[in-house]
Copies of this chain bind each other. A is one copy, B any other.
Amino acid sequence: MTAIGFRSHDHAQCVSTTLARAERYCVEKKLKFTAIRRRSLEILLAEHRALGAYDLLAVLGEEGLGTAPPVAYRALDFLTSAGFAHKIEGLNAYIACAHLGADHAPAFLICTSCKSVAEAEADATEGQLGEVARATGFTIRRTVIEALGLCPNCQPEAPCA
């Protein structure tokens, strides 16, 4: 349950190990980690923040990798299908997975002030959703678990104001 993203960390390493894992996963699964896909993941990885599809597209455009929306959405489809990125439904935005390689149900803490996002691992079969699902006979395929609020760095100042 490392809620990385709010704490400072060796981000260069954080990026390089994630890319290496993605690379290896693609070899194992015979997926094609093409230039656009790889670069898209790098762009998402640059910060622990969610990017809109069109934000991603703008960067790809500057680099001559494509300017039409499908370019970005296809890359994002690939990344999310492979588990390399997740969609933040509450923001209509996308973020690189912080636990790449682990099969997991992500849960997100989203700071509405600084827009940073921390990813925690949830267990879909536990918690309230799992309980209700079991009780009603519902079969869970995918979960969207997001909390909007203020990160440790953006807490309101002391109450003496």
Q: Which residues of A come within 8 Å of B, CB atoms?
A: 1, 3, 6-7, 89-90, 107, 109, 111-112, 118, 120, 122-124, 126-129, 131-133, 135-152, 155
Tell me if B143 and A147 are in contact (CB < 8 A). Answer: yes
Which residues of the partner chain B approach A129 to less than 8 Å between Cβ atoms? 107, 109, 120, 122, 145, 147
Tell me if A109 and B136 are in contact (CB < 8 A). Answer: yes
Which residues of the partner chain B approach A122 to less than 8 Å between Cβ atoms? 128-129
Residue of B nearest to A123 (CB): B128
Number of copies: 2
Which residues of the partner chain B approach A136 to less than 8 Å between Cβ atoms? 3, 6-7, 109, 118, 151-152
Tell me if B89 and A107 are in contact (CB < 8 A). Answer: no
Which residues of the partner chain B approach A143 to less than 8 Å between Cβ atoms? 145-148
Given A3-B135, A138-B149, A147-B142, A107 and B90 touching (CB < 8 A)? no
Given A89-B90, A122-B128, A145-B145, A6 and B152 touching (CB < 8 A)? no
Q: Which of B112, B133, B155 is in CB contact (< 8 Å) with A137?
A: B155
Residue of B nearest to A154 (CB): B139
Q: Can you pick out 30 interface pairs between chain A and chain B where the beta carbons lie within 8 Å of each other?
A: A3-B135, A6-B137, A6-B138, A7-B136, A89-B89, A89-B90, A89-B146, A107-B128, A109-B133, A109-B136, A111-B138, A118-B132, A118-B136, A118-B138, A120-B129, A126-B128, A127-B127, A129-B145, A129-B147, A137-B151, A137-B155, A138-B151, A139-B149, A142-B147, A143-B145, A143-B147, A144-B145, A144-B147, A144-B148, A145-B146
